[in-house]
Amino acid sequence: MSEKILVHVDDQPVELFRGMQAKHALISVDQSLYKAAEAGEIWLEDESGFRLGLEGALHDGARICIRRKKMK
């Protein structure tokens, strides 16, 4: 079993160590995404459309979709 997994944040591939969480994938792409998620400006969904918490577990091939609040 490999120590690393490949996940996608939107369409960007991210290689992480097995056991890392959704927040680590965001940080790997851009620290500001993690801060936006903590502030509630964005949220995450898995490839099936279910909400994913920042501590959410990841598996090889997982896809994370970033959703942004609509501005009024």
Q: What is the pLDDT along the chain (72 residues), one digit of tens a residue?
A: 789 999 999 999 999 999 999 999 999 999 999 999 999 999 999 999 999 999 999 999 999 999 998 766
The pTM (predicted TM-score) of the whole model is 0.89
Which domain does 23 fall in, by range? 4-68
Contact status, residue 5 vs residue 21, Cβ threshold 8 Å: no
How far, in whole angstroms, is CA 2 from its chain's centroid? 20
CATH number, domain with residue 24: 3.10.20.90
For residue 3, give the DSSP letter: S
Alpha-carbon torsion, ordered 19, 34, 27, 3, to 10 deg: 10
pLDDT score for 72: 62
User: Quick count: other Cβ atoms within 10 Å of Cβ 16?
Assistant: 20
Q: Indicate the number of domains in the chain.
A: 1
